[in-house]
């Protein structure tokens, strides 16, 4: 996965669960200051929010919906 698309659906490679990618953010805790993270939530639960480092997200998720209407 080269590009990351906001508001698109991604599948967790291990579990197969679907998630919507909400936003890119920057971790500003002391040890990880400046680390890029991605914020996402499960498609079946709009109340839970998760955060992963950018590179970890790219390794563990695959794009399902590119948003192309072709």
pLDDT in tens, 1-19: 568 899 999 999 999 999 9
Report the DSSP beta bridge partners of residue 61.
Answer: 12
This prediction has a pTM of 0.84
User: Residue 66 — pLDDT band, cuts 50, 70, 90?
Assistant: low
Contact 38, 52 (CB under 8 A): yes
Q: What is the pLDDT of residue 58?
A: 95
CA-closest candidate to residue 9, choices 37, 35, 34, 44: 44
Task: Indicate the domain borders of the chain.
Answer: 9-63
């Amino acid at each position: 996965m080269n590009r990351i698309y906001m508001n698109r659906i991604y599948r967790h490679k291990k579990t197969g669960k679907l998630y919507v990618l909400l936003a890119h953010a920057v971790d500003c805790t002391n040890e990880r200051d400046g680390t890029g993270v991605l914020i996402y939530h499960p498609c079946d639960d709009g109340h839970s929010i998760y955060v992963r480092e950018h590179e970890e997200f790219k390794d563990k998720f695959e794009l399902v919906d590119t948003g192309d209407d072709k």
